């Protein structure tokens, strides 16, 4: 159980670092694209330096790179938010149930989530087979690198789900120590 939780933390930390790196690259690419479109390709610069072809500095593949980086950022972010249980959910039923039923409902919800992640892994692998022959128009990269984000996101979420199961099992089976008041009331009733 400790291994699964440690692996979940390690994967989450790696995902966060990867998201930060992708976001920095996407940000710098966006800044460069705006700079090249509005400054380098401006009519003023073309009049000042007519002999220079500024079209060489306008890269057509940057917009596609930014789009694919944001796809990866979103799917990696799904795993990070899932680990922290930060996705939107309805707690109305959970709040009005007794503690025993709350834990059971959490277990059922986690089982549904894990089943969904397993289905996404299966379908994500099928998408990878389908897109293995597709190439992106501007970057000329295989589209499996883009669609692989679905597969990895599902795998990451499944690991986090296993960590949630491990936390649920350790919380559910470990008896909490009795306070003095509870021990006294227990002795009085017996």
User: Does 48 fall in a domain?
Assistant: yes
Number of domains the chain is built from: 1
Q: What is the pLDDT of residues 16-31, one digit of tens each?
A: 999 999 999 999 999 9
182 found inside a domain: no
Query: Considering the domain boundaries, does residue 183 fall inside one?
Result: no
- pLDDT 10s digits, 103-157: 888 899 999 999 999 999 999 999 999 999 999 999 999 999 999 999 999 999 9
Q: How far apart, in Å, do the first and last CA atoms of the chain sit?
A: 36
Establish if 187 belongs to a structural domain.
no
Question: Could you read off the pLDDT of 168-186 as tens digits, one per residue?
Answer: 888 765 444 445 555 455 5
Could you list the residue range(s) of the whole structural domain that residue 165 is in?
2-176
Structural tokens at position 94 = 């959970």
What is the number of other CB atoms lying within 10 angstroms of the CB of residue 157? 23
Asked if residue 181 is part of any domain, the answer here is no
In sequence order, the 6+-apart residues with CB closer than 8 A to the CB of 129 are none
Contact by Cβ (8 Å): 78, 71: no
The Cβ-side half-sphere exposure at 71, using a 13 Å CA radius, reads 16
Residue 189 counted as domain residue: no
Domain contains 184? no
159: its two tokens = 């690991």
């Amino acid at each position: 159980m400790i291994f699964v939780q440690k692996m979940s933390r390690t994967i989450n930390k790696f995902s966060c670092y990867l998201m930060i790196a992708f976001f920095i690259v996407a940000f710098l690419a966006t800044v460069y694209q705006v700079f090249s479109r509005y400054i380098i390709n401006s009519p003023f610069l073309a009049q000042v330096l007519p002999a220079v072809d500024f079209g060489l500095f306008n890269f057509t593949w940057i917009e596609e790179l930014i789009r694919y980086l944001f796809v990866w950022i979103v799917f990696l972010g799904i795993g990070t938010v899932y680990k922290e249980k930060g996705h939107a959910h309805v707690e109305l039923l959970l709040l009005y149930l007794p503690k025993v039923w709350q834990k059971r409902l959490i277990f059922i919800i986690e089982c549904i989530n894990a089943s969904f992640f397993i289905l996404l892994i299966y379908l994500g692998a099928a998408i990878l087979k389908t897109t293995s022959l597709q190439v992106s128009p501007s970057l000329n990269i295989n589209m499996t690198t883009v669609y692989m984000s679905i597969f990895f996101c599902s795998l990451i979420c499944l690991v986090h789900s296993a960590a949630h199961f491990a936390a649920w099992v350790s919380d559910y089976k470990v008896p909490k120590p009795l306070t003095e008041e509870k021990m006294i009331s227990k002795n009085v009733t017996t």
